[in-house]
């Protein structure tokens, strides 16, 4: 009789609390965790994709610029070992390994300029790599008023070599990512970071970006396909920071994370201890 009263007054309420807490921590609706909901209906019929991912050159970018031509003699003056560095950073180095391939490296200075042979300081910040290539190609082919044309059949290609972003917050592998191409989406970046942890808030992903001397934060709800694909930050740019907000239920103490699941485990241990104690007393 004493055992039944004790069970009904102490053990049973503890078990009920444990079950409630456990259900709260382990049961999440699909609406909270499924990405880009509605994409199956929105894109059931093929829709045109806006190719808005061209990168724009920024200060401190490193550019790889190649000039090709049939005339190797004229071409040599644009592919010598003094091309690394540029502008006011006083960067130096050698480029001997790339002379034959016609590739030279330029670092964009704080004024957004590079020091290009013969033509001097060229403003490139804010331009796409395609626009930089066309500008330099036109200068080499047609001159600039002070300098005559040099290589009539010159073809110029430009590539940004310093495309890096940082992913922070509630993901499996936070940290800096480097990328060799010019097309990286926020979904791809999160995938490279090992995806979001179960405790992450799918509706609170932020992309922090520097634009025209200002800093702006774009909010993305990964559950909403419109929020994802229509965001100006869907295609990432150099030096973007992607931050994934953790769930409010997560608390950090030192290097250990405690969630509601840990509370449930504690209650289980308490119930087991109480039952063991009661059994021992009533023997």
Q: What is the pTM of this model?
A: 0.68
Q: How many CA atoms lie within 13 A of 246 on its CB side?
A: 14
Helices within the chain (DSSP H only): 2-6, 12-26, 30-33, 39-42, 72-75, 129-142, 186-192, 225-229, 260-281
Q: What percent of the chain has pLDDT over 90?
A: 40
Which residues, 6+ apart, have CB-to-CB distance to 260 below 8 Å? 21, 24, 25, 249
Q: What is the pLDDT at residue 254?
A: 43
Per-residue confidence (pLDDT) for residue 231, from 0 to 100: 93
User: CA-CA distances (angstroms) from residue 144 to 27, 58, 139?
Assistant: 68, 24, 6
Number of H helices, E strands in the chain: 9, 12
121/118: higher pLDDT:
121
Over 80: is that where the pLDDT of 265 sits? no
Tens digits of per-residue pLDDT, 61-92?
999 998 888 877 777 777 654 444 444 433 33
pLDDT at 143: 83
pLDDT at 199 > cutoff 50: yes
CA distances (Å), 151 to each of 76, 83, 104, 169, 247, in order? 11, 18, 17, 51, 60
Averaged pLDDT, 184-206 = 94
The model's pLDDT over 17-57, given as tens digits with 9 standing for 90+, comes to 655 555 554 455 556 667 777 666 666 667 666 666 788 99
Instruction: Count CB neighbours of 49 within 10 A.
Output: 8
Largest CA distance in the chain: 108
Q: How far apart are CA 26 and CA 15, in angstroms?
A: 16
Pairing of strands 163-169, 241-246: parallel
pLDDT at 206: 97
**Token pair listed for 121:** 């300081």
> What value does the mean pLDDT take over residues 142-164?
84
Q: How confident is the model at residue 272 (pLDDT cuts 50, 70, 90)?
A: low
Stretch (H or E) spanning 208: strand 200-211
Residue 62's beta-bridge partner residues? 107
Q: What is the mean pLDDT of the chain?
A: 77
């Amino acid at each position: 009789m004493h055992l039944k009263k004790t069970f009904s007054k102490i053990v049973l309420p503890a078990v009920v609390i444990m079950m409630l807490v456990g259900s709260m921590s382990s049961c999440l609706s699909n609406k909270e965790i499924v990405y880009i909901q509605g994409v199956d209906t929105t894109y059931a019929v093929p829709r045109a994709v806006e190719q808005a991912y061209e990168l724009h050159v920024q200060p401190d970018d490193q550019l790889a610029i190649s000039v090709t031509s049939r005339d190797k003699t004229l071409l040599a003056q644009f592919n010598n070992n003094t091309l690394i560095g540029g502008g006011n950073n006083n960067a130096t180095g050698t480029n001997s390994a790339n002379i034959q391939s016609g590739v030279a490296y330029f670092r964009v200075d704080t004024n957004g300029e590079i020091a290009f042979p013969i033509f001097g300081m060229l403003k490139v910040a804010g331009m796409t790599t395609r626009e930089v290539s066309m500008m330099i190609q036109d200068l080499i082919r047609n001159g600039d008023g002070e300098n005559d044309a040099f290589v009539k059949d010159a073809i110029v290609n430009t590539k940004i070599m310093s495309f890096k972003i940082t992913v922070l917050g509630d993901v499996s592998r936070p940290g800096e990512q480097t990328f060799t191409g010019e097309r990286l989406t926020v979904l791809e970046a999160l995938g490279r970071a090992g995806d979001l942890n179960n405790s992450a808030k799918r509706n609170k992903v932020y992309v922090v970006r520097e634009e025209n001397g200002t800093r702006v934060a774009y909010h993305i709800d990964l559950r909403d396909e419109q929020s994802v694909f229509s965001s100006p930050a869907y295609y990432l740019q150099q030096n973007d920071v992607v931050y994934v907000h953790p769930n409010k239920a997560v608390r950090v103490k030192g290097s250990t994370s405690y969630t509601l699941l840990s509370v449930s485990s504690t209650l289980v241990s308490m119930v087991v201890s109480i039952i063991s104690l009661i059994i021992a007393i009533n023997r």
